[in-house]
A and B are shown apart, each in its own frame.
Chain A
Amino acid sequence: MRTGFYPGCSMKGSAREYNESLMAVAAALGRDLPEVPDWNCCGATAAHNLDRDLSLALPARILAAAEKEGMNEVLVPCAACYSRLKTTRHELNEDEALRRRIAGLVEAPYEGSAEVVNIIEWLGRIPDLEGRVKKPFARKVACYYGCLLVRPAGVVRFDRPEEPQSMDRLMKKLGADPIDWAFKTECCGAGFSVSRTDLVAKLSGLILEDAVSRGAEAVIVACPMCHLNLDMRRPNIEKRAGKKYRIPVMYITQALGLALGLAPRKLGLQRHKVSPSALIVPASAQSAAGSQFASGDSPASAPSSGSSAGSPAATAKKVD
């Protein structure tokens, strides 16, 4: 099994910390993740609204490059990229004439041999993950899957589309306590992040409210877009809701990295708008909380929100 890695634009830009944490975790687990050579844009959001051929050709070119490199699967951590690559593979596998035409367009012999896997699938396959955990991530977490990881069900064939469990199982392995909540796959506002920030504020606000009201201490995500809306748009969310939400949003790779005992900085945890520092303060160094990061506001000084679950005081106690 040779696994290639397709970063896409997010991992190199807005979701750098996702990439950093993935690389750190992969190294710690002894996994080699070579990038697909000469990769291109997956075409997400724009291409399939404009031109079907283009929307298939862009991912097909990526997969063809992976095949040429002898990779039998490609890890695609970004959920949007995953959706595009997975959909393309599905459609070209279903239609031989289409496969030949698209292969002609990208001038590469695309065969469909390389499987497309998402981050949950990839991590889920690692044997004895529990055994490698050094610092159990003993928190109540809300596993947020978003829309693209599990849908369309017939294409991705991954987990249950309405009430997925795979991320919850993974978090349990890390020592976390995933909550049973209703917003696992509700819309966060996705691409409206830029054009209709008001919508994002409303939809993402509902997600945070439910997670917080059920006592979650962190939202765990596996999609740069979800992270963007839940983390970067926090001021908009709070303004609309008229209340503060302190609950941090972390990538699954970051939670895993912490559980593996990696340094927060290596996991890019300082890059978040809502600092997760309260979750990573070692019991012995409570006083140092907040000082580990150059950037990020100090949670110790932040006012406690209505729901105390995410507040540093409450969480620090639980570390013991």
Chain B
Amino acid sequence: MTLARIGVFVCHCGENISATVDCAKVAAEAAKLPGVAHSVDYKYMCSDPGQQLIQSAIREKGLTGVVVAACSPRMHEPTFRRACAEAGLNPFLCEMANIREHCSWVHEKGEATTAKALDIVRTLVAKVKKGKPLQPIQVPVTKTALVLGGGIAGIQASLDIANAGHRVILVEKEPSIGGHMAQLSETFPTLDCSQCILTPRMVEVAQHPNITLYSYSELEGLEGFIGNFKARIRRKARGLDETLCTGCGLCTQKCPTRRIPSEFDAGLGLRPAIYVPFPQAVPNKPVIDRDHCTYFLKGKCRLCEKVCPTQAIRFDQEDEIVEAEVGAVVLATGFDIKHGDFFPEYGYGRFQDVIDGLQFERLASASGPTLGEIRRPSDGKVPETVVFVACAGSRDPAKGIEYCSKICCMYTAKHAMLYKHKVHQGKPFVFYMDIRAGGKMYEEFVRRAMEEDGVQYVRGRVSRIYERGGKLVVKGADTLLGARPLEIEADLVVLATAAVANAGAEDLAQKLHVSYDAHAFFAEAHPKLRPVETNTAGIFLAGACQAPKDIPDSVSQASGAAAKVAALFSRSELVREPLVAVVDRQAPPVYSSCVGCFLCQGACPYQAIEKEEIRNRDGGLIKTVAKVNPGLCQGCGTCVALCRTKSIDIQGYSHEQVYAEVLALLNRGEGDA
């Protein structure tokens, strides 16, 4: 202790601190503390001259520790530690005394405030005196990215990372990649065909030498930390040997069970029990739907097996677990739209001709069940009047969804336009709350729907839809015409149902330790400045799994996430702060105070505690003790609290340091403890 030479540097932070704290007095009083060799105050300690003040004091006075009494360590600790390191002091012997957020900002000017600032300084002086020089931890980076979700966001992120020269594992839970974008007919605001722009990208993914595609697969578990994750991927049994299958399609043509609602066609078309979701699927290999396959239900049939020219069918195939080491994860699991018994007042799910936006996409799509003709599901009639309802569920606290689904204004305008282009005499109506067409060429697009294509926009909400004499009666109000009640007899109603998180989003977030919001959309690390990162280092976000997004936004975010991954992979090693737990080790004959109870092992949330055998020179076992893997440890301290023999310490927050801080507070004004 007698050797301690601590420097205290009190910052005014302009007037942020000095307006309520007497900084000169704090510096003068701190100078009297035992072990303090140097104490000054300055207007802006973080400025260049301020940092030089610290550096020259370290060099000239031979300081063994530094306390900067200024803002929160979250703000400037890295700044001052770097400055100390440049002057030759171990950066972990520099501590921040937070007299701004914890003192000057929250108290009135007065003596008590100054006294509290001094208390905080005294506490940190006591801590730094017990501090030890620490070295940063170097961890290697596995330069392979795991991309979850093969929609447009996942495809874009995979291609960008792969083109940067890194390996990518793309996991898609459906039999084909493509996501919702593959289901769309045309895209706003250019009306170019969705599949025409998407399928070349899908093929590129399949053929890229750096990309391994696991379709019909799901993430089983993820362990580890940034740069060093271990992923377990479940490859669901397709029921065929993919290496033998040529994708000829004979099995799907011959399958006798043919009346299963097609997921890809949003339930409007039918598919067989062995199927490829759509003709352009990647990979173009079928899947046996075991819930509908006659063989799996009744033990008979096996027709597909008989017709397969390459004998690729495998009824006994089982799920396979693949393990992979990856350095980063990109979440691109996408979204869903609200289905089911959500709009009883609109008869959605009860009336065949009340459909959702995705179903309309399939009706309008050239590859859809009607080959692109707009025909209503109930009787195949071309509808003469179509009502589009925007904000069906979105922006509606009564339905529990307060947010705007963002894409509906645009796709509703597109739907109405497409309908008008295909059915010239048709009468499209759009009920809306507001038109939110922020985006390049978006407002112009909506205007075009209104002015050139004669889509009738009605500002008001629909209260009820019911069937009467083969028509759907849509009751609403026109709020621009004095809330006049309106009744439209429609042949088809399209609801722009709210965009919601995928059903499995919450489970996945918990599996990955990623935070999510009240609607199960994954949370970004900062809403403005870190929009593609999660709070878990090494896990990034792309697309609508974060919030409802259109294609341009999803692609932008995917490229952003890919850039983050590429930056991470640009180094072969990562540097981590050494604020991790360590188990006591000492000279023989004790070796370690750890008694090997391993209570800590069960408590560790990161599986960072291992068993270490201490052996003598002959190889004989002396004792088994705990050992912390510094790469896995996150420094949470749970093991420290649990250890019965106080054998575990957190570096930088040791027992000794924390006790010293507490005693410094308790023995206020009575010198060093």
A182 near B473 (CB under 8 angstroms)?
yes
- A-B pairs, 3 with minimum CB distance: A163-B344, A182-B466, A162-B345
B590 within 8 A of A: no
A182 near B464 (CB under 8 angstroms)?
yes
B529 within 8 A of A: no
In the bound complex, residues from chain A placing their C-beta under 8 Å from that of B467 are: 182
B132 within 8 A of A: no
B576 within 8 A of A: no
**Chain A minimum-CB-distance residue to B469:** A213
A39 within 8 A of B: no
Q: How far is the CB of A215 from chain B (nearest CB, A)?
A: 14
Q: How far is the CB of A157 from chain B (nearest CB, A)?
A: 12
In the bound complex, residues from chain A placing their C-beta under 8 Å from that of B343 are: 162
Chain A 181-217: CB-based contact to B (< 8 A → 1; otherwise 0)? 1100010000000000000000000000010010000
Q: How far is the CB of A182 from chain B (nearest CB, A)?
A: 3
In the bound complex, residues from chain A placing their C-beta under 8 Å from that of B464 are: 162, 182, 186
Residues of chain A at interface, number, CB under 8 A: 12
B381 within 8 A of A: no
A161 to B396, alpha carbons, bound, how many Å?
A: 14
| 21 intermolecular pairs with C-beta atoms under 8 Å apart | A153-B398, A154-B398, A160-B344, A161-B398, A162-B343, A162-B344, A162-B345, A162-B464, A163-B344, A163-B345, A180-B350, A181-B466, A182-B464, A182-B466, A182-B467, A182-B468, A182-B473, A186-B464, A210-B466, A210-B468, A213-B468
In the bound complex, residues from chain B placing their C-beta under 8 Å from that of A161 are: 398
In the bound complex, residues from chain A placing their C-beta under 8 Å from that of B345 are: 162-163
Give A286-312 interface residues, CB cut-off 8 Å to B: none
A186 to B343, alpha carbons, bound, how many Å?
A: 16
A residues contacting B by CB (< 8 A) are 153-154, 160-163, 180-182, 186, 210, 213
In the bound complex, residues from chain B placing their C-beta under 8 Å from that of A162 are: 343-345, 464
Q: How far is the CB of A142 from chain B (nearest CB, A)?
A: 13
5 more CB-based (< 8 A) A-B contacts, given A162-B464, A163-B344, A182-B464: A153-B398, A162-B344, A182-B468, A186-B464, A210-B468
Q: How far is the CB of A57 from chain B (nearest CB, A)?
A: 29
In the bound complex, residues from chain B placing their C-beta under 8 Å from that of A181 are: 466
B residues contacting A by CB (< 8 A) are 343-345, 350, 398, 464, 466-468, 473
A203 to B306, alpha carbons, bound, how many Å?
A: 66
A213 to B344, alpha carbons, bound, how many Å?
A: 21
A197 to B343, alpha carbons, bound, how many Å?
A: 33
A210 to B464, alpha carbons, bound, how many Å?
A: 14
**Chain A minimum-CB-distance residue to B345:** A162
In the bound complex, residues from chain B placing their C-beta under 8 Å from that of A213 are: 468
**Chain A minimum-CB-distance residue to B464:** A182
A163 to B467, alpha carbons, bound, how many Å?
A: 15
Q: How far is the CB of B624 from chain A (nearest CB, A)?
A: 59
**Chain B minimum-CB-distance residue to A183:** B466
Q: How far is the CB of B489 from chain A (nearest CB, A)?
A: 13
Q: How far is the CB of B487 from chain A (nearest CB, A)?
A: 11
Q: How far is the CB of A162 from chain B (nearest CB, A)?
A: 4
In the bound complex, residues from chain B placing their C-beta under 8 Å from that of A186 are: 464
In the bound complex, residues from chain B placing their C-beta under 8 Å from that of A154 are: 398
**Chain A minimum-CB-distance residue to B399:** A162
Q: How far is the CB of A10 from chain B (nearest CB, A)?
A: 28
A290 to B215, alpha carbons, bound, how many Å?
A: 72
**Chain B minimum-CB-distance residue to A163:** B344
Q: How far is the CB of B393 from chain A (nearest CB, A)?
A: 12
Q: How far is the CB of B562 from chain A (nearest CB, A)?
A: 44
**Chain B minimum-CB-distance residue to A153:** B398
In the bound complex, residues from chain A placing their C-beta under 8 Å from that of B468 are: 182, 210, 213
In the bound complex, residues from chain B placing their C-beta under 8 Å from that of A153 are: 398
Q: How far is the CB of B301 from chain A (nearest CB, A)?
A: 39
A213 to B467, alpha carbons, bound, how many Å?
A: 11
Most buried by B among A161, A163, A186: A163
Q: How far is the CB of A28 from chain B (nearest CB, A)?
A: 33
Q: How far is the CB of A187 from chain B (nearest CB, A)?
A: 11
A182 to B345, alpha carbons, bound, how many Å?
A: 8
Q: How far is the CB of B586 from chain A (nearest CB, A)?
A: 61
**Chain B minimum-CB-distance residue to A164:** B344
A200 to B468, alpha carbons, bound, how many Å?
A: 22
A163 to B350, alpha carbons, bound, how many Å?
A: 12
A180 to B350, alpha carbons, bound, how many Å?
A: 10
A287 to B466, alpha carbons, bound, how many Å?
A: 40
A15 to B398, alpha carbons, bound, how many Å?
A: 34
In the bound complex, residues from chain B placing their C-beta under 8 Å from that of A160 are: 344
A84 to B642, alpha carbons, bound, how many Å?
A: 57
Q: How far is the CB of B454 from chain A (nearest CB, A)?
A: 29
Most buried by B among A154, A162, A180: A162
A180 to B467, alpha carbons, bound, how many Å?
A: 10
A154 to B398, alpha carbons, bound, how many Å?
A: 8
In the bound complex, residues from chain B placing their C-beta under 8 Å from that of A210 are: 466, 468
A186 to B468, alpha carbons, bound, how many Å?
A: 16
**Chain B minimum-CB-distance residue to A182:** B466
A135 to B464, alpha carbons, bound, how many Å?
A: 36
A52 to B350, alpha carbons, bound, how many Å?
A: 42
In the bound complex, residues from chain A placing their C-beta under 8 Å from that of B398 are: 153-154, 161
**Chain B minimum-CB-distance residue to A161:** B398
A182 to B275, alpha carbons, bound, how many Å?
A: 40
Q: How far is the CB of B466 from chain A (nearest CB, A)?
A: 3
Q: How far is the CB of B97 from chain A (nearest CB, A)?
A: 43
Most buried by A among B350, B468, B473: B468
**Chain B minimum-CB-distance residue to A154:** B398
A183 to B666, alpha carbons, bound, how many Å?
A: 73
In the bound complex, residues from chain A placing their C-beta under 8 Å from that of B344 are: 160, 162-163
Q: How far is the CB of B100 from chain A (nearest CB, A)?
A: 38
A181 to B464, alpha carbons, bound, how many Å?
A: 11
A186 to B466, alpha carbons, bound, how many Å?
A: 12
A154 to B464, alpha carbons, bound, how many Å?
A: 20
Q: How far is the CB of A256 from chain B (nearest CB, A)?
A: 25
Q: How far is the CB of A151 from chain B (nearest CB, A)?
A: 11
Q: How far is the CB of B48 from chain A (nearest CB, A)?
A: 56
**Chain A minimum-CB-distance residue to B350:** A180
**Chain A minimum-CB-distance residue to B344:** A163
A155 to B436, alpha carbons, bound, how many Å?
A: 32
In the bound complex, residues from chain B placing their C-beta under 8 Å from that of A163 are: 344-345
A298 to B345, alpha carbons, bound, how many Å?
A: 38
Q: How far is the CB of A163 from chain B (nearest CB, A)?
A: 3
In the bound complex, residues from chain A placing their C-beta under 8 Å from that of B466 are: 181-182, 210
In the bound complex, residues from chain B placing their C-beta under 8 Å from that of A182 are: 464, 466-468, 473
A180 to B351, alpha carbons, bound, how many Å?
A: 11
**Chain A minimum-CB-distance residue to B475:** A182
A182 to B347, alpha carbons, bound, how many Å?
A: 9
A182 to B343, alpha carbons, bound, how many Å?
A: 13
A161 to B467, alpha carbons, bound, how many Å?
A: 19
Q: How far is the CB of B456 from chain A (nearest CB, A)?
A: 23
A153 to B397, alpha carbons, bound, how many Å?
A: 12
A182 to B473, alpha carbons, bound, how many Å?
A: 10
A199 to B466, alpha carbons, bound, how many Å?
A: 22
A161 to B343, alpha carbons, bound, how many Å?
A: 11
A181 to B466, alpha carbons, bound, how many Å?
A: 8
A56 to B464, alpha carbons, bound, how many Å?
A: 33
A8 to B12, alpha carbons, bound, how many Å?
A: 71
Most buried by B among A154, A161, A182: A182
A180 to B344, alpha carbons, bound, how many Å?
A: 11
A17 to B343, alpha carbons, bound, how many Å?
A: 36
A119 to B575, alpha carbons, bound, how many Å?
A: 69
